[in-house]
A = this chain, B = another copy of it.
């Protein structure tokens, strides 16, 4: 089972040395237990290790040097934005081309067979085309890079939260992700291409900022200064923002997304750089798409999805309508929660039974075929014919059994990329859809979208959510105008498009539960601030309603992967817990000058697998803990062992090159496992002086510190290890991410999660 479940887990594949594969959440004992945290997820070291090497380098650097660094950061952010924009452009064009071929082929086929009968052949053609696209995408994901499945937003959320998710920001992941999303959208699944952009931007950022690719074994020898977690995480924030910006044409929304998900500390310059990357990204996309569309300079596509212009009349909604809009939070929240609950159980089912790559591919193909079939059936049985107006914007309007000069309106909803369908629901003139069509469509699409999210394909959930919400929102608008049609006020209910917009917001809010950033993203995507107030109200209240039942979709998936995710604050009722109860103890400490053998033994001990070790002044023979004088990381020790920086060697061979920060940076981020380092028996007897390499000023807290206080310190500074000391400054414990993440607020007050040791 261990071997099986790794394919659906985020924690990487078994063939990676040094990255251990966990079971998924104790799945081995048959009963799935979600109240578990995994040890396997490590934290990022957002806190700089200010050891002597680091301080020396910083002190050597002149004011000019820091300016250069800052300039380089700007250049990198510009590059991140540019490349992210290009990728978005590539995805957009590829999807449009492929979907275009597909729909043209199917449309011709349908038109051919409509008169003569034999439409089942069209159905089969459609289903086969869909499945073929999806199969290719699913194979790439399932066999080559399972981490590229899904939207990638939960993974990026975790990364920005400070959790190291294996393989999440690698070049290969990016390639599979981009390829996969093109296939799954072209394959007609109920998915969007927006979520994956965020992941793509993050990978671009992680790659560009390091100036090298370990996958391609290419080191450009630039940006070496940025090879540490602190800088990388900052750049990844910029990448994620650039991704959002390209996806929705929402540069400010992108910045807010990154901050909401990732920021522990708001830094003005960093925010400004993130904004720069976002702006460049949407501008690049816009510029290249305008060239592609043959109208260079006409910047009309700031994002992959465009909600189109809403009627910008000042009177487009009246305050009274706000209350109606406001009432949308309830269906949004409830349907969103329902979506999440069903998807939660479905995911557990998948974890248990659909774990082999070939099964996963088959499920994806099945969904694709079913999607085609349902779409076809609904188009076939619907007789909702609408006149084909002058201003008809549908690219593939199907006449089917309608009279000449009319088209089938159900087909516009299904026979299109989801982005276009959303836009149709927002903007088509009143009367384009009849209520029954919309009702059936909502139901069918809801089922398809729930089933689709979590498949082993790269795909986002934003667009399906928007589509579901837009459908029922518009339905509601139509019903409202029918009810009030006899009255004089009916004119103001005339446009169901705005109800579609608010419905879409409510539904999306109910599913993903993002707050400020989502409001701004939606406002930017509509291109007008007019609807800002109702959108905010609806998102806020939909979140409240939804939270009553279950968490947001991303949080559900994060929890299913047992990631030790730190929320914004400790649970409010946790003041009675202190560092003493929370910390792990006893702590494995090292002496300032420690025997190599002991270090190797400790590092090799797979049962503990610690990553940070307090360095103490002197371990006494009895069990009394030593006074803290520093903190050293596993990765640092490994580099030291690899370069054999032993005291004896230093004195005997004076020519021995002094270890520099560069050596640590070269090894970053994939430090070799301890098993790969050979230490002879003689060397085991040597001593290693850690003074120069340890962080001499780790943050410490006394044992009586309350959990919220510890939490705040930990979260605000992005720590990985926090040393707990007694009043003599002796090490008594160590607080790490998992110690804090395991307390959460359940229905009955504070609950504690179990820790799963692999």
Which residues does A use to contact B, with CB under 8 Å? 48, 50, 55, 58-59, 61-63, 66, 249, 251-252, 255-256, 259-260, 263-269, 271-272, 275-276, 279, 282-283, 287, 297-300, 302, 309, 312, 314-315, 318-320, 515-516, 519-520, 523-524, 527-530, 532-533, 536-537, 540, 568-569, 572-573, 575-576, 617, 627-629, 696-697, 699-702, 704-706, 709, 712-713, 715-717, 725, 727-729, 745, 749
Q: Is the CB of A749 within 8 A of B568?
A: no
Residue of B nearest to A717 (CB): B716
Q: Tell which of B55, B249, B319, B705 touches A297, judged by Cβ atoms closer than 8 Å.
A: B319
- With known contacts A519-B275, A729-B728, A701–B712 Cβ distance under 8 A: no
Give A253 Cβ to nearest chain B Cβ, in Å: 9
Q: Is the CB of B276 within 8 A of A536?
A: yes
Residue of B nearest to A515 (CB): B272
Give A694 Cβ to nearest chain B Cβ, in Å: 12
Q: Which residues of chain B have C-beta atoms less than 8 A from A702's C-beta?
A: 696-697
- With known contacts A260-B271, A727-B617, A59–B299 Cβ distance under 8 A: no
**Docked complex Cα distance between A315 and B540 (Å):** 35
Q: Tell which of B260, B705, B727, B745 touches A729, judged by Cβ atoms closer than 8 Å.
A: B727
Q: In the complex, which of the residues A298, A628, A729 has the most CB atoms of chain B within 10 Å of its own CB atom?
A: A729
Q: Is the CB of B573 within 8 A of A529?
A: no
Q: Is the CB of B320 within 8 A of A268?
A: no
Q: Which residues of chain B have C-beta atoms less than 8 A from A314's C-beta?
A: 298-300
Q: Is the CB of A279 within 8 A of B575?
A: no
Q: Which residues of chain B have C-beta atoms less than 8 A from A271's C-beta?
A: 260, 515-516
- With known contacts A287-B319, A515-B268, A728-B728, A705–B716 Cβ distance under 8 A: no
Q: Is the CB of A263 within 8 A of B260?
A: no
User: What is the count of identical protomers in the complex?
Assistant: 2
- With known contacts A320-B297, A515-B272, A575-B59, A279–B50 Cβ distance under 8 A: no
**Docked complex Cα distance between A749 and B712 (Å):** 34
Cross-chain pairs A/B with CB under 8 angstroms, 25 sampled: A55-B575, A55-B576, A58-B572, A61-B573, A66-B572, A66-B573, A251-B529, A251-B532, A251-B536, A252-B252, A252-B523, A260-B266, A263-B266, A265-B266, A267-B568, A272-B516, A275-B519, A299-B314, A299-B315, A299-B530, A300-B314, A309-B312, A697-B702, A712-B717, A727-B729
Give A98 Cβ to nearest chain B Cβ, in Å: 26
Q: Is the CB of B699 within 8 A of A713?
A: yes
**Docked complex Cα distance between A279 and B536 (Å):** 8
Residue of B nearest to A537 (CB): B279
- With known contacts A252-B520, A568-B268, A573-B62, A697–B709 Cβ distance under 8 A: yes
Give A438 Cβ to nearest chain B Cβ, in Å: 28
Q: Tell which of B533, B573, B701, B717 touches A279, judged by Cβ atoms closer than 8 Å.
A: B533
Q: Is the CB of A260 within 8 A of B265?
A: no
**Docked complex Cα distance between A728 and B626 (Å):** 11
Q: Is the CB of B58 within 8 A of A575?
A: yes
Q: Which residues of chain B have C-beta atoms less than 8 A from A66's C-beta?
A: 572-573
**Docked complex Cα distance between A268 and B59 (Å):** 36
- With known contacts A279-B533, A524-B529, A528-B527, A717–B727 Cβ distance under 8 A: no
Give A231 Cβ to nearest chain B Cβ, in Å: 14
**Docked complex Cα distance between A572 and B225 (Å):** 14
Q: Which residues of chain B have C-beta atoms less than 8 A from A725's C-beta?
A: 729
**Docked complex Cα distance between A249 and B267 (Å):** 25
Q: Tell which of B59, B266, B572, B749 touches A266, judged by Cβ atoms closer than 8 Å.
A: B266
Residue of B nearest to A699 (CB): B713
Residue of B nearest to A567 (CB): B268
Q: In the complex, which of the residues A58, A252, A320, A700 has the most CB atoms of chain B within 10 Å of its own CB atom?
A: A252
Q: Is the CB of A255 within 8 A of B516?
A: yes
Q: Which residues of chain B have C-beta atoms less than 8 A from A515's C-beta?
A: 268, 271-272, 275
Residue of B nearest to A253 (CB): B252
Q: Which residues of chain B have C-beta atoms less than 8 A from A519's C-beta?
A: 275
- With known contacts A529-B302, A576-B59, A569–B536 Cβ distance under 8 A: no
Q: Tell which of B55, B249, B699, B704 touches A697, judged by Cβ atoms closer than 8 Å.
A: B704
Q: Is the CB of B266 within 8 A of A264?
A: yes
**Docked complex Cα distance between A314 and B293 (Å):** 14
Q: A249-B529, A263-B266 are in contact. List 11 more A-B contacts (CB 8 A).
A: A50-B706, A58-B572, A251-B532, A268-B515, A272-B516, A279-B536, A627-B727, A697-B705, A697-B709, A700-B700, A725-B729
Give A620 Cβ to nearest chain B Cβ, in Å: 16
Residue of B nearest to A62 (CB): B573
Residue of B nearest to A543 (CB): B272
Give A577 Cβ to nearest chain B Cβ, in Å: 10
Residue of B nearest to A299 (CB): B314
Residue of B nearest to A525 (CB): B529
Q: Is the CB of B516 within 8 A of A275?
A: yes
Residue of B nearest to A750 (CB): B63
Q: In the complex, which of the residues A48, A66, A268, A300 has the most CB atoms of chain B within 10 Å of its own CB atom?
A: A268
**Docked complex Cα distance between A697 and B516 (Å):** 34
Q: Which residues of chain B have C-beta atoms less than 8 A from A61's C-beta?
A: 572-573
Give A276 Cβ to nearest chain B Cβ, in Å: 7
Q: Is the CB of A265 within 8 A of B268?
A: no
Residue of B nearest to A261 (CB): B268
Q: Tell which of B58, B249, B265, B279 touches A264, judged by Cβ atoms closer than 8 Å.
A: B265
- With known contacts A533-B279, A629-B727, A729-B727, A260–B268 Cβ distance under 8 A: yes
